[in-house]
Structure 1
Amino acid sequence: MTPIPLSPLAGRRCQEALNALHSTVYFSPDFAESLAEYGVDDSMAVYLAGRAGPLGPVAAGTVTAAFYGFAHPLIAEHLPHVWSLVPPATVVELRLAAVDALLRRHLGEETLASAGMAEAARLALSAAEAGQRAGRPMFSAHADQPVPQEPHLALWYAATLLREHRGDAHIAALQHAELDGIDALVSHCASGDGMPKEVVMTKRGWTEADWSAAEDRLRERGLMDADGALTAHGELLRTQLEAETDRLDRAPYEHLGAESVARLTGLAEAFTAQAAASGAFPPELLAFFGKR
């Protein structure tokens, strides 16, 4: 039987569903509460430590390079100081424990023990096995972590790998397009797919002056109009960026195959919808994550 061809957008849709499930950790109090016991009580420090933990006790410069869209002074405010309070290996363990708690709370024991959960974990891990390490620091660092035994944690771990694999690929596409971190962020927020500026600007460490300067650079390139909306050229560039990211990120989904990608997407979307209905996402972001 001839395999069903993988559509160009299938991998992106699958990763978006998995990323939404991964992102539940950013809106749950569990991880922050566990780090507070070590004296880490700033929400930005919690985020940076959790995501950068697999990189080891790195300084701010490494994280600025790997995260791309964050202002360096914001990262330097917290790293490497956080590692003097709690070692990265401990952070990784605490984060996984927090994920365990939040998924049990939002999905329930029946869903966690279901055949669908076990199948989703198997499929996502299979896709992640085909991820490419070279040039992908975030994916590679997370891939060095042990695979959790319980299916719901294995699924979250694989979702994290696939999120970072696409993220690393997207950074390569942005650099090719000569969009630095904040220019990329501003153009994304101005697109139909981006989060509102108010949600992301200060959380990434940028000021109004930074944002305005980025808008001016985009206008000089003909990518943004006077009102802050993307021009036709800007919209085309964003479309091309996502298509190039799809190309660079295709290996996991080609390895899995069209039928299994569709199955994994459906399972991940169902789990995300269940988590959203249980309050896993803040109301202002429900439309962004809950639509998956």
Structure 2
Amino acid sequence: MFDVGATAVRATILAVDDARRLWTLLEPLHAVTYFAPEAREAADAVGLRGFWMGYVAQRAAPLGAVGPDAVWACFHGFHRERITRALPDAWGFADPATCLAARLDGADRALRRLLGDVEGPAVAEAADLAWAAAAAADTQGRVLAAANQGLPRPDAPHLALWQAATTLREHRGDGHVAVLVTHGVGPVSAHRLKTAAGESGSLQESRRLDDAVWASAGEGLLARGWLDGDGALTDAGREARDAIERDTDRVAAGPWRALGGTATDRLAELLRPLALSAADALPFPNPIGLPRP
């Protein structure tokens, strides 16, 4: 007898696995906007001052000309003072519409260099599948994802793919922030856990966190029994970290459940060579915790 309930449970489990698998394949495409020189050049060309202002303004641009407090809350992973170094000043150099155009220009030139043929049928098919997944994402309570989902689809397939990847990564990121808040883990504590797990050794430096703030977060995790005196994960800390990652995958599974297993597998097949090529622009390890595809 056909067990509808068991089939639904299996589909949910597979979608959770797909959430992590597709993240590792889509994130390299999205991340050219942080690491490729073309992205920095595009930001500089519209008047944004330096990498940091370019990063904050272009990532926040889908929200409109919002102030630093809202962006700090959405991004979660930075000290408030770091965001105020970029906003609201950035909007005086380039308004959000200009920043959106600049980030597409940077992604366009970076992906053309890294991927080579961006006009072939494989990129077009991947764009259609990724766009369908992004359109299916439930963005209630996910501000950055909703703002990106509301942007128009670019005409060029490789840019449609990039924008879909961006919407999906912000959907995952918004969910991750909600999971961290649920677990009572603040931004710096999250970075301490990630560093202790060996995912990145540069987060204190890349987030410009001073020693006192870094040490305070470590003391909080020590008090919870998640870090030992040397700053390494304890068994309890490892269990907590694993639970956070599992919950993040679970709440990121919706787009892949909607797309379906066959289409998701096809998208993964199409993305793999693209992700490998795009990864040439990324440092490993990196501040976003992305493993090699």
Please report the TM-score for the alignment, with normalisation by the length of structure 2: 0.91
Aligned partner of 2:60: which letter? A
The equivalent position to 1:167 in structure 2, one of 173, 176, 185, is 173
Structure 1 residue 67, shift from structure 2 partner: 0.3
Which digits, 9 at most, give the CA deviation of each residue in 1:215-272, with x for residues without a partner? 1100000000111111111111111111111221121010011122122123222101
1:116 counterpart = 2:119: no
Report % sequence identity.
Answer: 36
Whether the aligned pair in 1 keeps the contact of 2:200 and 2:285 (CA below 8 Å) is no
Q: Which moved more, 1:151-160 or 1:34-43?
A: 34-43
Q: Output aligned runs, 1:66-105, within 5 Å.
A: 66-105=74-113
Q: Output aligned runs, 1:276-291, within 5 Å.
A: 276=279, 279-282=280-283, 285=286, 291=292
1:56 counterpart = 2:59: no
Aligned to 2:27: 19
Aligned partner of 1:58: which letter? V
Whether the aligned pair in 1 keeps the contact of 2:32 and 2:39 (CA below 8 Å) is no
Mapped to 2, the partners of 1:172 and 1:96 lie a distance apart of: 28
The equivalent position to 1:156 in structure 2, one of 162, 165, 169, is 162
Structure 1 residue 203, shift from structure 2 partner: 2.7
Which digits, 9 at most, give the CA deviation of each residue in 1:154-191, with x for residues without a partner? 11100001000010011111011000111111111211
The equivalent position to 2:200 in structure 1, one of 192, 195, 198, is 195
Partner-residue secondary structure (3-state), 2:125: helix
The equivalent position to 1:144 in structure 2, one of 126, 150, 155, is 150
Structure 1 residue 213, shift from structure 2 partner: 0.8
Aligned partner of 2:75: which letter? F
Across the aligned residues of Structure 1 and Structure 2, the Cα RMSD in angstroms comes to 2.0
Q: Give unpaired runs (5+ residues) of structure 2.
A: none
Structure 1 residue 289, shift from structure 2 partner: 5.0
Whether the aligned pair in 2 keeps the contact of 1:44 and 1:203 (CA below 8 Å) is no
Mapped to 1, the partners of 2:284 and 2:101 lie a distance apart of: 29
Whether the aligned pair in 1 keeps the contact of 2:65 and 2:96 (CA below 8 Å) is yes
The equivalent position to 2:223 in structure 1, one of 198, 220, 225, is 220
Whether the aligned pair in 2 keeps the contact of 1:169 and 1:245 (CA below 8 Å) is yes
Mapped to 2, the partners of 1:285 and 1:214 lie a distance apart of: 21
Mapped to 1, the partners of 2:283 and 2:237 lie a distance apart of: 30
Aligned to 1:275: 278
Count matched residues: 284
Aligned to 1:39: 47
Partner-residue secondary structure (3-state), 1:91: helix
Check 1:285–1:220 CA distance in 2 against 1; reply closer, same or farther (3 A cut): closer
Structure 1 residue 285, shift from structure 2 partner: 4.5
Aligned partner of 1:178: which letter? G
Partner-residue secondary structure (3-state), 2:54: helix
Mapped to 1, the partners of 2:174 and 2:285 lie a distance apart of: 27
Check 1:243–1:290 CA distance in 2 against 1; reply closer, same or farther (3 A cut): closer
